[in-house]
Structure 1
């Protein structure tokens, strides 16, 4: 049972896959963002991995309020759910980029910082929701 996670941004969207049984995730790819999102690429990932659901990183400011990107992220999550008929879960993404730097490696096979951040987001969600996944 796999889950796909997304670190959504206007310029880039990091994508990771993970298994709740092991609680681990790995970055797959960093996609070019934009409006609309790169649905053909996302469609292909969903077809390949057949996830049970999606986890989308939810950014908050230090005071707990949503960031200005919040409405676009909610719209992306709603579109994922409508398009694929799978549940979308939200996970706090604070510090995900910082933690993702530790996973980055130089080289052509590295999926990119945003993909590593998506993996951190997914692993955090697994930890917080071990009984649900």
Structure 2
């Protein structure tokens, strides 16, 4: 199963793709949330990668409560599901940016920290859901 993951932030959205068979993911791109062509860019990425579902990082505080960005993220994920008619799964995103920093390439084209964080989110979701399947 091919999945597309999102690390949604106030300024940027990291996007990654991964596969349930391998349990691996890779960052694709980081996009500005306020970019006027964001919706079209998402349509192009979904058409190109043809995911079967989306995984959206869900931020929580140490006490398990959602962060202030929670409502915006929930709205983004629900809009994705409506727009593309695909299921949306939610994944714990704590430490994803920290772990994403370890993936940053020092040379060549790098999709950005947020895309690496999305890959971390997706791999965590795949690990959790493969183990419980």
2:86 aligned with 1:75, yes or no? no
Hey, what's the Cα distance between the residues in 1 that align with 2:36 and 2:120? Answer: 25
Hey, what's the Cα distance between the residues in 1 that align with 2:80 and 2:37? Answer: 10
Deviations 1:37-91 (A, max 9, x none): 8111100000001100000000000111000000000000010000000000000
* Per-residue deviation, 1:125: 0.2
Hey, what's the Cα distance between the residues in 1 that align with 2:132 and 2:37? Answer: 28
Hey, what's the Cα distance between the residues in 1 that align with 2:119 and 2:37? Answer: 19
User: How many residues are paired up?
Assistant: 133
Gaps of 5+ in 2: none
Computed over aligned residues only, the root mean square deviation of the Cα atoms, in angstroms, reads 1.7
* Per-residue deviation, 1:131: 6.1
Q: How does 1:117-128 map to 2 (within 5 A)?
A: 117-128=117-128
Runs of 4+ in 1 over 6 A off after TM superposition: none
Match in the other structure for 1:19: 19
* Per-residue deviation, 1:105: 1.4
Deviations 1:19-43 (A, max 9, x none): 0000000000000113888111100
TM-score by length of structure 1 reads 0.94
* Per-residue deviation, 1:106: 2.5
Gaps of 5+ in 1: none
TM-score by length of structure 2 reads 0.94
Hey, what's the Cα distance between the residues in 1 that align with 2:33 and 2:114? Answer: 11
Change in 2 beyond 3 A, CA 1:36/1:70: farther
